[in-house]
Amino acid sequence: MVAARITVNGKEEPIAPVAPHTTVLDFLRERGLTGTKEGCAEGECGACSVLVARPGVNKPTDWVAVNACLVPVAALDGQEVVTSEGLATAAEPGTPAVLHPVQEEMAVRGGSQCGYCTPGFVCSMAAEYYRPDRCAHADPGAGAADGTDAEHGPNGFDLHALSGNLCRCTGYRPIRDAAFAVGAPTDDDPLARRREQAPPAPVATEYTQDDRVFLRKDTLAETLRLLRERPDAVVVAGSTDWGVEVNIRSRRADCVVAVDRLPELRALRVESDRIEIGAALTLTEIERRLDGTVPLLAELFPQFASRLIRNGATLGGNLGTGSPIGDSPPVLLALEASVVLADADGEREVPLADYFTGYRRSVRRPGELIRAVRVPLPLSPVTAFHKIAKRRFDDISSVAVAFALDIEEGTVRKARIGLGGVAATPVRALATEAALEGRPWSAATAEAAARVLRGEGTPMDDHRASSLYRSAMLGQSLLKLYAQTTEAVPS
């Protein structure tokens, strides 16, 4: 097997001799690329943002910004990375460094004071600068009435691209000014041109240091055989959970097995009776590829962490943690989704409602992987996802509620409600569903069902919220749904 290598700012380098758990952040800084900063080491601040060449949604390659503090560098064997230093010189290779257009705008519009957060902002901004469909939505003459707003610039820039970047001193207005001022990449921009070629293919990796190993196989079958041989292995996809375990809780694994590039886990198929979503597609890829086809998922994604996290996070990882406060389970429960589990002997399909068995426990056996999530069609027409958290974006849920209702001629024919944050596992609100089904969709029904919903689960007191608050929010959530579906639009 070829020694693990990574291309950073156009230069290929060996990954050895660092330990297998070494993050991309530490690897880069160790090599003098200190533009990439550590602010939190847990995916919260974006100071470590770098660009990775990934399979594109609208072009062969997308430049995708990720949190370098969470990703093991061994996971980028054979891949291409660009840091803030690479942006500065990428515009004119071979000539003295000139600022990249996003750096130029940040400089001239006062988007940087102490500068600690700036390289991370610049990388997230560059990813949005190169998003192929950004300019399709650009209208330099547009005003608020033309579809631009505080979060979307006239240049098509979606400010949510920066939702994972924090700045302690500049204030966000000048940063927004810079984001909304960038133009379109020129024809000779090397990173724009790079999008037209295929991204680096995933490579099989066996990276060993100090008796610890990071492994990536080419196929699902090889991976499943390996997991049978190594039941102690830790499976890693986007590493947005595992990276926090490594950095903050000092977890180390003798054997890490990467599944994020397995083709069998990265397909998205829309069929007549179901949609199958590969467990290793990132949330950003699912969001862009489904493009609103599943409105409940479309409502979930913007509320799930930040763009930086969604660029790595997968559904397999969200279900794999078994966390009771993961945001996808309530939505997938309301959608009556099932999970396709694969091991070396074959596959089985388990309804998500039967998947969780206890706090961070599931029916998934050692050696089994989540291959895909299946969402049955047709979808219920009335859906909503209410995430109650302290911040609007980039926060963990105190309570999450997802609704999927069939309402025909004013009567609730079918109700599916998924809850997070109110029990040891994500749960269906079965009593509330029964209180709705067969009843008229009226204020009286909503109020009666809201009382039932307040009593679902066994909410706890913790640092995020009290049990009373959580119960109250459940009831409010149903009343809000009723208001959302019945409120007259003012003329």
Binding site for ligand FES (CB under 6 A): 38-41, 43-48, 67, 69, 112-118, 167-170
Q: What letter does residue 297 receive in the DSSP assignment?
A: H
Q: Which is nearer to ligand FES, 66 or 192 (CB)?
A: 66
Q: How far is the CB of 127 from ligand FES (least distance, A)?
A: 15
Tell me which of 65, 69, 162, 279 binds ligand FAD, using CB under 6 A: 279
| Interacting partner of 112 out of ligand FAD, ligand FES, none (Cβ under 5 to 8 A depending on kind) | ligand FES
| Interacting partner of 204 out of ligand FES, ligand FAD, none (Cβ under 5 to 8 A depending on kind) | none
Question: Footprint of ligand FAD on residues 391-430 (CB under 6 A)?
Answer: 396
Asked whether 239 and 342 are in contact (CB, 8 A), the reply is: no
Question: Footprint of ligand FAD on residues 246-275 (CB under 6 A)?
Answer: 259, 265
User: If phi over 0 gives left and psi between -120 and 50 gives alpha, with beta otherwise, what is residue 25?
Assistant: alpha
Helix (H, G, I), strand (E, B) or coil at 111: coil
| Interacting partner of 208 out of ligand FAD, ligand FES, none (Cβ under 5 to 8 A depending on kind) | none
| Alpha helix segments (H runs only) across 195-230 | 220-229
| Segment interacting with ligand FAD, rule: CB under 6 A, options 174-182, 195-203, 210-218, 228-236 | 228-236
Asked whether 128 and 157 are in contact (CB, 8 A), the reply is: yes
- 85 is a contact residue toward ligand FAD (CB under 6 A): no
| Interacting partner of 39 out of ligand FES, ligand FAD, none (Cβ under 5 to 8 A depending on kind) | ligand FES
Site size for ligand FAD (CB under 6 A): 33
| Segment interacting with ligand FAD, rule: CB under 6 A, options 76-84, 238-246, 411-419, 460-468 | 238-246
d(CA 20, CA 440): 59
Q: Which is nearer to ligand FAD, 85 or 343 (CB)?
A: 343
d(CA 345, CA 365): 12
- 314 is a contact residue toward ligand FAD (CB under 6 A): yes
Q: Which is nearer to ligand FES, 113 or 321 (CB)?
A: 113
Q: How far is the CB of 310 from ligand FES (least distance, A)?
A: 13
Q: Which is nearer to ligand FAD, 25 or 279 (CB)?
A: 279
Beta bridge partners of 72: 23
Q: What angle do CA 359, 364, 365 make, to 5 degrees?
A: 115
Q: What letter does residue 184 receive in the DSSP assignment?
A: P
| Interacting partner of 170 out of ligand FAD, ligand FES, none (Cβ under 5 to 8 A depending on kind) | ligand FES
Q: CA Rg, the chain, in Å?
A: 23
**64 phi, psi to nearest 5 deg:** -110, 130
Q: Are strands 255-258 and 234-236 parallel, antiparallel or unpaired?
A: parallel
- 240 is a contact residue toward ligand FAD (CB under 6 A): yes
Structural tokens at position 73 = 């560098």
Tell me which of 320, 418, 421, 459 binds ligand FAD, using CB under 6 A: 320
Nearest partner of 57 among 204, 218, 199, 155, judged by Cα = 199
Asked whether 175 and 113 are in contact (CB, 8 A), the reply is: no
Q: How far is the CB of 447 from ligand FAD (least distance, A)?
A: 30
Question: Footprint of ligand FAD on residues 347-386 (CB under 6 A)?
Answer: 369-370
Q: How far is the CB of 432 from ligand FES (least distance, A)?
A: 38
Asked whether 303 and 420 are in contact (CB, 8 A), the reply is: no
Q: How far is the CB of 285 from ligand FAD (least distance, A)?
A: 12
| Segment interacting with ligand FAD, rule: CB under 6 A, options 46-54, 307-315, 378-386, 427-435 | 307-315
**414 phi, psi to nearest 5 deg:** -150, 140
**433 phi, psi to nearest 5 deg:** -55, -45
Tell me which of 64, 235, 401, 465 binds ligand FAD, using CB under 6 A: 235
User: Positive or negative, the Cα torsion across 184, 188, 189, 190?
Assistant: positive
d(CA 236, CA 223): 12
Q: Which is nearer to ligand FES, 112 or 284 (CB)?
A: 112
- 309 is a contact residue toward ligand FAD (CB under 6 A): yes
Asked whether 260 and 243 are in contact (CB, 8 A), the reply is: no
d(CA 285, CA 428): 27
Tell me which of 26, 80, 105, 327 binds ligand FAD, using CB under 6 A: 327
Q: Which is nearer to ligand FES, 26 or 62 (CB)?
A: 26
- 44 is a contact residue toward ligand FAD (CB under 6 A): yes
| Segment interacting with ligand FAD, rule: CB under 6 A, options 286-294, 305-313, 439-447, 457-465 | 305-313
d(CA 477, CA 472): 9
Asked whether 230 and 212 are in contact (CB, 8 A), the reply is: no
Q: Cis link prior to 154 (omega < 30° from 0)?
A: no
Q: How far is the CB of 325 from ligand FAD (least distance, A)?
A: 7
